[in-house]
Structure 1
Amino acid sequence: MSVRTRETIRVLVCSAGSNGDGIVDIELAADGTVTERTRVPAANPAFLSVHPDGKSLYTVERAAGGRLVAYRLNDGCGDLSRLNERSSEGAAPCYVSVDATGRYAFVANYRGGTVAAFPIESDGRVGEASDVVRHEGTGPDQDRQSAPHPHAIEPGPRNRFCYAPDLGTDRIAIYRPDADAGELKAAETEPATARAGAGPRQIAFHPTASVCYVVGELESTVSEFSRDRESGALTAVGRTSTLPSEFGGDNAPAAVGVHPSGRWVYVSNRGHDSIAVFAVDRASGSLERIGHQSTRGETPRDIALSPGGEFLLAANQHGDSLVAFAIDGDGRLDARAELAVPKPVCVTVLDPR
């Protein structure tokens, strides 16, 4: 087994293939080559997040009614040690995040209509849920929006607020976590409202400007929101299609990522099977679509950027592949390598320490 060097980066992928679900441990080299190192069994893992100290990992599994699982990250040997698990406090969990202090993990349950907070113990294990909040409401799409469907819950900059896009209600719930009580308290500001029928799915924050970007899964858009640093309030200020004008097929964008420089935003298109590339206006944070790059596979469910911004990785769920793209000086993508991975649904790049 190879030993990681300073020139390589560790990548973890949730794989839900027919030959056995698992978490795939991958090495990303300086030239963009991706190599599988090992695989740990897991039951239909849907998403993962790494603790800020880099020593533990949290996944949500769509098994046993939905659960949150903690792992120890064993540096150097590539193995993961399963620590413990808890009920996700809902059905079909689809997202997990960890706050910047490493004290709490947050979970979004798509079919359960709930978001939940879980304390993280000193050894990396997760405690019983300290708070569970049930969303309410519907949207105009009778097939996809007949009930709440939280699709993500993500701590914002400075760790003061959590934002939970809800595909079923066209709202982005805003919470002010109480770390002492372990509660997801509603922020004093009202939830942000997306366009009716947009289906907000994921959210990503600009590294320096007070703006964030939200994917509208049901209308193939990415919307820009200004963010009030003090109240946490979001105000919609712009919306851009993720598709070329000539495309007329079915599409459902999935993941959004902001380049570490803040100069570009990337959104994966499932249907068009591409990454939409947007330039960010330095003054306003608004977006201009500058192109598309084929993901060289079907249904790009997730994307991830390397910490230094040199690479973008795309997980093609129905293409059974992970593709590494180099990012050039104009933000455009150049495919460098491809690795066969059964049904990859989430990809996370660890920050080398």
Structure 2
Amino acid sequence: MSPQKLTNDDAAARSATATLRQTKGPARLYVGTYTGSGSEGIYTLQIDRLSGALAVPEVAAKTANPTWLIVSPDKRRLYAVSGGDAAAAAYAVDRVSGRLTPASEAYLGDGKPPCHLAIDATAQLLIASHYHHGTVTTIPIQAGGNWPASHGGTLGSPTRVIEHSRLGHPTGPHPTRQDAPHVHSATISPDNRYAYICDLGLDRIYAYALDSEHATLSPAPSFYTATRPGAGPRHATFSRDGRLLLVVGELDSTLTTYTYNSETAALTLVDTQSLLPANFSGENTAAEVRIHPNGRWVYASNRGHDSIATFALDDTRGQLRLLGHTPSGGRSPRHFAICPCGGWLVTANQESNTLCAFAIDQTTGLPSSTPTSTVTVPKPVCVVFSE
């Protein structure tokens, strides 16, 4: 594939990325894992913005199966899925050492931890998605508590549990993965009005209106959008201008764009593209979707093909154009993250126990064909930048 012609905007983006790399020093990452196979919990490490070198990971907090992590808007707190009866755990972030200090947990008592967490823009509401139960739990984030009031961030008792299985909707066509509702994620709109819940089992994207002050959700005027049968919506992200919602279909390995109506929460289908090469015939499940900081490139991960698919996004029309595939550097890239500087993409390869850093070409948007750096982390399934 020949590089695209370099425009003034491209040149400006490359210059901005180079400046961020040079002036901000290393960036910190946190890694969530499955424990029981050598992992001790949440790990932390830094990436050199100039070279892409990953430092040796260190244990930031010992905990069971912290499979999803999210950093608060003010970067002072980290929330993690917690094993056992707890829905989520809150940690204070030491921004120098990267160490995490436990602060509070929100308990459900149902024995099944969630698979995903989302935090609203006001940092008053945490949303937990439960794959096994097909439920959504709302948890208040409180000021004060075990931390100074200026930090806040402790978790209160859940305010509501929404059970999709009681809504009476049919399940999807996949015989094993869509035998019941399976809530996989919550994505909050940039205007902080709605939470979009991907239910893999029902092939639906539900829209709930946010009440941050009372830490709860209620059905939006346009309550749900049906995906195509068997898509299995998993994760989603909004375009940088907030006009588009991009949803990855785990079961049919697709990426779909919808326009977002901020008044009714209605989603209108624009485009759907396969995440796989035309000649691929093996088993695959899609996992994560992320947008580059410049808003022009979209990335999604394939488990089976073990790659990162890169697309150009026409944010005016919402159309996607496949640019290429990059091997993920390991097996089963369940998650990946993009450095805020836009220069690096880091994959979490669950089955090969590796994190890999790739340089992003600032002209084409494509990650480099081979990783710049690789480090070992047991069963990594989530990686986030803490800035």
TM-score (norm 1): 0.95
Cα offset for 1:66? 4.9
1:127 alignment partner AA: G
1:196–1:37 Cα change, 3 Å: closer
The reply to whether residue 174 of structure 1 matches residue 207 of structure 2 is yes
Q: SS state of the match for residue 318, structure 1? A: helix
Q: SS state of the match for residue 103, structure 2? A: strand
**Counting helix residues as a fraction of each chain, which structure ranks higher?**
2
2:52 alignment partner AA: G
Alignment match, 1:116: 137
Two-structure CA RMSD over aligned residues (Å): 1.4
Where structure 1 has 5 or more consecutive residues not aligned to the other structure, the ranges are: none
Q: Distance in 1 between matches of 2:239 and 2:109?
A: 30
> Which deviations, in whole Å up to 9, do the C-alpha atoms of 1:140-187 show, x marking residues without a partner?
112111111010012111111111100000001101111233221110
Equivalent residues of 1:221, 1:240 under 8 A apart: yes
Q: Distance in 2 between matches of 1:58 and 1:275?
A: 26
Report matched runs for 1:176-215 at 5 Å: 176-208=209-241, 210-215=243-248
Report matched runs for 1:14-33 at 5 Å: 14-17=32-35, 18-30=37-49, 31-33=51-53
> Which deviations, in whole Å up to 9, do the C-alpha atoms of 1:192-213 show, x marking residues without a partner?
1110111000001100151111
Alignment match, 1:6: 24
Equivalent residues of 2:84, 2:113 under 8 A apart: no
Q: Distance in 1 between matches of 2:41 and 2:88?
A: 15
Alignment match, 1:333: 367
Cα offset for 1:81? 0.3
> Which deviations, in whole Å up to 9, do the C-alpha atoms of 1:249-270 show, x marking residues without a partner?
0000100001111111100000
Where structure 2 has 5 or more consecutive residues not aligned to the other structure, the ranges are: 1-22, 144-151
Alignment match, 2:126: 105
1:81 alignment partner AA: T
Cα offset for 1:229? 2.2
Report matched runs for 1:1-353 at 5 Å: 6-17=24-35, 18-30=37-49, 31-39=51-59, 40-61=61-82, 63-88=83-108, 91-122=112-143, 123-136=152-165, 137=169, 138-208=171-241, 210-328=243-361, 329-334=363-368, 335-351=371-387
Length, aligned pairs only = 346
Equivalent residues of 1:96, 1:107 under 8 A apart: yes
Question: After the TM superposition, which segments of 4 or more aligned residues of structure 1 sit over 6 Å from their partners?
Answer: none
Q: SS state of the match for residue 129, structure 2? A: strand
1:43 alignment partner AA: A
Equivalent residues of 1:88, 1:107 under 8 A apart: no
Cα offset for 1:74? 1.1
Q: Percent identity?
A: 39
Q: SS state of the match for residue 191, structure 2? A: helix
TM-score (norm 2): 0.87
Q: Distance in 1 between matches of 2:292 and 2:302?
A: 17
State which drifts further: 276-285 or 321-330: 276-285
